[in-house]
Structures are given as structure tokens and as C-alpha cells.
Amino acid sequence: MRLGVTVLLAVLAASLCAPVHSAPVRGGTLNIAIDADPPSLDPHKTPSSGIPHSLLYNTLVTVDRQTGAFIPSLADSWTIAEGGKVITFKLHPGVKFHDGTPFTSQAVKATLDRLTAPATGAPGASWIGPLDRVEAPDDLTVRLVFKQPYAPIFSSLRIPFLAMLSPAAIAKYGKDYGQEPVGTGPFKFRQWIPGDRIALDRNPDYAWGAKFYQNHGAPYVDSVVLHIIPDESTRSIAFERGDLDILPTAPPKDVARLRQMGRYQVFQTPDDGGLYLGLNVTKPLLSDVRVRQALGYGINRDEVVNYALERLAVPMDSPVAPTIWGYAKGLTHAFHYDPDRARRLLTEAGWKPGPDGILQKGGRPLAFTVWTYPRETYVRMAVVLQTELKKIGVRMSIEQMEVATLLARTPKGEHDALLIGYGWPDADILYYFFHSSRMATTNRVHFSNAEVDRLLEAGRVTVDPQKRLAVYRDLQELLLEQAPWIPLASQISVTFAQSRVRDLAEDKFGTLLLDDAYLVK
């Protein structure tokens, strides 16, 4: 439904801005803003993938622009055997890397072997799951053999972390692959001036774009230049000046203003992730599940959405955001704003009002500190939460913390609570956040529950989608009841484009689709 609205909006905006639908024009440069240099253009050397990776590379599968279903990309078809342990892909013939070498099953094998080799140190290596080996029976057939079934594999396969690399280029550049990236994507690498720009040129040989494109050949634009502009305000101004054609993920505070101007195309996509308040359940204060639940009922998510996120979000009622595969609607333990219930829970837990309006028990105030990253959105949310929680007699202090410090200190359990976010298209991400084996790393709330562990493990090996959805439904219900996380909101990303850009699109996950795009004067 939301997707329908999104598409409608985009179509509406496009039709308003482009009254005459003309034939595509060749040529020109698309100028696009990005906020930071990617750590590397080598998919095996970067913890985050973004626009440059999705333009340079292709993956075996991709998602349909509208339905989000997995559809062929470099693989034409696939079969799943042995209860999900073996997946056989038939590869698309005639695909060439930017360096001219053919894309074959050997390339898939070389890529995945490099990804999983410990020496590579690939941040995205874990997303391939318990892969045992890759077999290449012939040039256009490749088999992934897993130690056990790994249900989320297709979500991983479409992410640029698992994009296909040229074996010849791996041999030639090795560690420096990121400086001379070679993929099969619609654009090839020209130049990277760190801190300034990444320039890509149209791949003239490109003829293997996904089915949903109108254009099945090379892109219409000659080149794409990604301008690295870290400051939000500067980025918006550069776009308004017309220096940029596309402003992806516009700063929330500028969205309403830019939209009002009425002269830009607007693309709205709900994020496949969300923001949450994570509670360290080993802290005496927060170890009482009633206190955790009270926090859940004491927060008005509408206030968070309206004031902290500029209305560019939807309230989140489960640890799994609505856009993520596995989200369960209408859970009985889903939090809603009910301050009376919050107060009742706290009274039950033995907390009594103190002189300053903050609840007390045994002389100790109901007060805790939340750690968050020094990013405007997070800090704004923290301040709104602070105001909300004060109304039910809870004092929350805020401490901004750099990413590196937070990552290093949370495994030790020094923190009371965290306000951060995550994004991943599959509910399996919860494995990292709540499985007891992840305690020292991504399980930052130090939560441990045998039933949760069991469900998380079942979610990984249950290949049948309906059964898997049922597993995640039970899991979400249990997690809400135990309340190690208070889900807050899932943001909506907004991309603006000048009216001179035609037939631009975004897929369900906010990936910019440039194959059909062209520029008019």
C-alpha cells in the first residue's frame, strides 16, 4: 500500500514536471550528491555500500522495482535443492566485465572465495552465511553449497557486498581493487578524487539490465559524477542552485521546503530499517521487565515522528521495520502510547514519586543515560524522548558518543541504554542483535533468552517462506514482551531530482535506478 503511494507520488511529480513525454536523449552528465567517500569501491573492503557500488557492479539477483520480489540479474534462473543447502544458478550469457573479460561461473567462484577468505577481511563476509563451497560445473552454471540451509541468502545476494568481481582484475590489482574497480554494472570507473568526487562513465557494452527497465542497453547519460559534500545544509544549497541533478536522502529539515517549491521531482521510500531505544538488560534498573515495558508505553511515537523526524517517518511497533521482510502486523504486545499504563507498571515495580517529580525506589531515582551518535536526527530524537519520559517520572540523560567509542564500550556493558538505528532487508538481522552468541559484539543490550535463541536459529534454517514468517511473528511477539528494545520509528528517505532529469526511478529499497534516466535541456 505504502509502496503504491510512493510510486503514485513519483509518477505524479514526474508527470507534473515533465508535461511532454519525449523520446530518451543520449548524452550529458548526471551530478549526484553523496555525503561521504565510501571507504572503498571494492565491495569486499567496505562496511557500507551505496550509490557508486550499485552503479559499478551487478549482483546475481536483484529485486523487482515495484514488488520487491527477487528477479534475475546476472543469474537468469536458479533452483534450490537439498532443503535449501544447495542453490544452482544459471548465469546470463554474454556478460562482460569493464576490463573486457567474460563473466562466467569462475568469476562467481573467485568473487565468493575472496569474500570468505579470512585474509581478505571483508566486512560483508558474514552476509553469505554458512557457505561451504562454490562449484562451477560449466561456464554458465554455478552452485553454492551451504553447510546448513541459510534462508536469508537471497536478501544478501542482491546487496553490493556480494557483487561480482573480475577474476582478472583481482589478480592484477589485489589489495588495490578499490582504486581500479572493475564490475559489470551500467557505469564504469573513471576517476576518484577522495573528498571531492567519484566520476563514472557509461558502459557502452551494457546489455543485461534487469527486466523492469525500459532500456535494455547502455545508459543514456554519458557519465555520472558523485559529488562528496559532507555538510547537509551545503548539500541542499548546491542542489537548489542547480549544481546537482539529484539529491538523494535529502536532509529531513529541508524536505518540506524543497517540496513546497514545486519544481522538483520527489521520490519517497520507507527505509528498510528503524531507530530504537536499546536497553541494557543487565543494569539493575533496567533488568525489571516492567520498567522496560513502561518506557515502551510512556513514549508517544507520534511526537518522535512529528518533531524529531520532521514527519518523515512512520511509528515502528516492532523491532522489525514494516518494510523489512518478516515484519508482523498487529502483535498483541506492540507498544502504543499509554502513559497511565506506564505509570501503573512503574508503581507495580515499586517506584514512587520523589520530590522533584522523578520516581524513586529505596532512595534511588529512576534515571538512566542514553548513548547516541552525534548525528542531528539521533540527538533530536533523544531530546524528544527525554521530554516524553520526564512526563512519566523518568529522567533520561543524553551522552553523544562517536561511533568507534560506542562500538568499543557497549560490549563491556558500561551503558544503560542506546539510541541508534539499523537497516537490513531481512528479519534475520535480529539474530545479530539478540542471539546470546552475539553478546560480546552486536548484541548490545546484553539480552539472553533461550526461546529467542531458538527462534532466531529456526528463522535461519526455515526455508519455507510461510513457516519462516510464522517463526518471526513469534519472535517479534516475544521480543516486544521482553522489551530489550523500544522500537521508535522507521524513517522515510526522500530523493529530489531536477525536472531536467527524466525517467529516473528508485526501487523499493531506495536504490537509484539510472538505466532509463536521461537529461533534457
**DSSP 8-state secondary structure symbol assigned to residue 65:** T
Instruction: Specify the amino acid at residue 141.
Output: T
Q: Does 100 bind another protein (CB under 8 A)?
A: no
Residue 15 is inside which H or E element, if any? helix 2-17
Q: How many CB atoms lie within 10 A of CB 191?
A: 11
Footprint of another protein on 27-56 (CB under 8 A)? 36-37, 39-40, 42, 45, 47
Site string for another protein, 164-203 (x = CB under 8 A): -----------xx-xx-------------xxxxx------
Q: Does 113 bind another protein (CB under 8 A)?
A: no
Provide, rounded to whole angstroms, the least separation between the CB of residue 469 and another protein: 24
**Cβ contact 354:406 at 8 Å:** no
Q: Rg for the chain (alpha carbons), in Å?
A: 24
Report phi then psi at 325, rounded to 5. -65, 125
Pick the piece of the chain touching another protein (CB under 8 A) from 270-278, 327-335, 336-344, 382-390: 382-390
**Which string of DSSP letters, residue by residue, matches 281-340?**
TTSGGG-SHHHHHHHHHH--HHHIIIIISTT-EEE--SSS-TTSBT--SS-TT-----HH
What separation in angstroms does the CA of 16 have from each of 8, 99, 411?
12, 41, 51
Q: Does 493 bind another protein (CB under 8 A)?
A: no
- For residue 337 the three cell numbers come to 502510547
Provide, rounded to whole angstroms, the least separation between the CB of residue 32 and another protein: 13
CA–CA gap between residue 443 and residue 278 (Å, rounded): 10
List the one residue from 204, 311, 441, 481 that touches another protein (CB under 8 A): 441
Q: Does 453 bind another protein (CB under 8 A)?
A: no
Q: Does 130 bind another protein (CB under 8 A)?
A: no
Contacts with another protein: how many residues (CB under 8 A)? 70
List the one residue from 11, 306, 336, 350 that touches another protein (CB under 8 A): 306
Provide, rounded to whole angstroms, the least separation between the CB of residue 85 and another protein: 20
Provide, rounded to whole angstroms, the least separation between the CB of residue 67 and another protein: 28
CA–CA gap between residue 185 and residue 41 (Å, rounded): 13
Contacts of 385 (CB under 8 A, 6+ apart): 277, 299, 304, 370, 396, 419, 488
Provide, rounded to whole angstroms, the least separation between the CB of residue 513 and another protein: 25
List the one residue from 84, 102, 123, 365 that touches another protein (CB under 8 A): 123
Closer residue to another protein (CB): 6 or 300: 300
Report phi then psi at 182, rounded to 5. -125, 120
List the one residue from 352, 364, 397, 481 that touches another protein (CB under 8 A): 397
Site string for another protein, 360-379 (x = CB under 8 A): -------------xxxx--x
Provide, rounded to whole angstroms, the least separation between the CB of residue 181 and another protein: 12
Closer residue to another protein (CB): 204 or 374: 374
**DSSP 8-state secondary structure symbol assigned to residue 18:** -
Contacts of 293 (CB under 8 A, 6+ apart): 335, 342, 345, 483
Q: Does 125 bind another protein (CB under 8 A)?
A: yes
Site string for another protein, 216-235 (x = CB under 8 A): -----------xxxxxxxxx
Residue with cell 526522500: 494
Provide, rounded to whole angstroms, the least separation between the CB of residue 101 and another protein: 23
What separation in angstroms does the CA of 254 have from each of 227, 247, 305?
19, 11, 16
Q: Does 340 bind another protein (CB under 8 A)?
A: no
Locate all alpha helices (DSSP H) within 331-418, ordered by sequence.
Answer: 339-348, 376-391, 403-409
Q: Does 149 bind another protein (CB under 8 A)?
A: no
Binding-site ranges for another protein (CB under 8 A):
36-37, 39-40, 42, 45, 47, 118-119, 121, 123, 125-127, 175-176, 178-179, 193-197, 227-235, 237-238, 240-241, 243, 251, 253, 257, 303, 306-307, 373-376, 379-380, 382-384, 386-387, 397-405, 407-409, 432, 440-442
